[in-house]
């Protein structure tokens, strides 16, 4: 298995839960992005949406892991106003290199698959890389219904990495 880092931002804990489960399933290190902002309050929620819509950069706190030392970055975000969260966008723009492989995951509260697809497109644009796989989990499914999808996603990533090694 490639050296893997699962990176995520979580405002309410849903994306954190998925990220930690993915790191465990993949035998990967995990990195939670922090920007020092209080985003849990109603005002923080509104500010987060406004920043996401404007593509405002976040002031990320120093990372524990060096993303450049990993072959695969599995990056997760909550969806804010139909797009990627500002801490994750900032991470993708600053830390992802063209030599790395990437995969995306997200959590979202609204119905409809268009919201994850929009967020994944924004992540792809910010990183300049196409993901090996994507996973979207509705917030109401984080209470337990998501585990099978997380396991299938981890297995799909493992298969794609192995197939890439056999070609190379």
Tell me: the pLDDT tens digits for 32-54? Answer: 999 988 787 777 777 777 788 88
Number of domains the chain contains: 1
For residue 47, the SS3 value is helix
Q: Give pLDDT tens digits for 111-157.
A: 667 889 999 999 999 999 999 999 999 888 887 778 889 999 999 99
pLDDT for position 36: 80
- Domain of 95, CATH number, reads 3.40.50.360
Query: What residues make up the domain containing 151?
Result: 4-167
For residue 120, the SS3 value is helix
The angle that helices 114-127 and 86-95 make with each other, rounded to 10 degrees, is 30
Distance of alpha carbon 141 from alpha carbon 168, whole angstroms: 38
Contact 84, 126 (CB under 8 A): yes
Is this structure's pTM higher than 0.75?
A: yes
25-28 CB contacts, 8 Å cutoff, 24+ apart: 25/150, 25/151, 25/154, 26/1, 26/74, 26/154, 26/157, 26/158, 27/1, 28/4, 28/72, 28/74
Contact 82, 115 (CB under 8 A): yes
Q: Give pLDDT tens digits for 58-81.
A: 889 999 999 999 999 999 999 988
């Amino acid at each position: 298995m490639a050296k893997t880092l699962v990176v995520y931002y979580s405002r309410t804990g849903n994306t954190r839960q998925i990220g930690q489960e993915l790191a465990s399933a993949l035998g990967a290190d995990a990195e939670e992005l922090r920007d020092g902002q209080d985003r849990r309050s109603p005002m923080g929620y509104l500010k987060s949406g406004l920043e996401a819509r404007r593509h405002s950069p976040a002031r990320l706190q120093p990372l524990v892991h060096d993303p450049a030392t990993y072959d695969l970055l599995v990056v997760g975000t909550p969806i804010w106003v139909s797009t990627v969260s500002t801490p994750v966008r900032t991470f993708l723009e600053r830390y992802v290199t063209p030599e790395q492989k990437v995969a995306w995951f997200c959590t979202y509260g609204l119905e409809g698959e268009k919201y994850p697809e929009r967020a994944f497109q924004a992540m792809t644009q910010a990183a300049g890389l196409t993901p090996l796989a994507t996973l979207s989990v509705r917030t109401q499914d984080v209470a337990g219904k998501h585990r099978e999808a997380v396991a299938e996603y981890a297995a799909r990533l493992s298969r794609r990495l192995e197939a890439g090694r056999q070609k190379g």
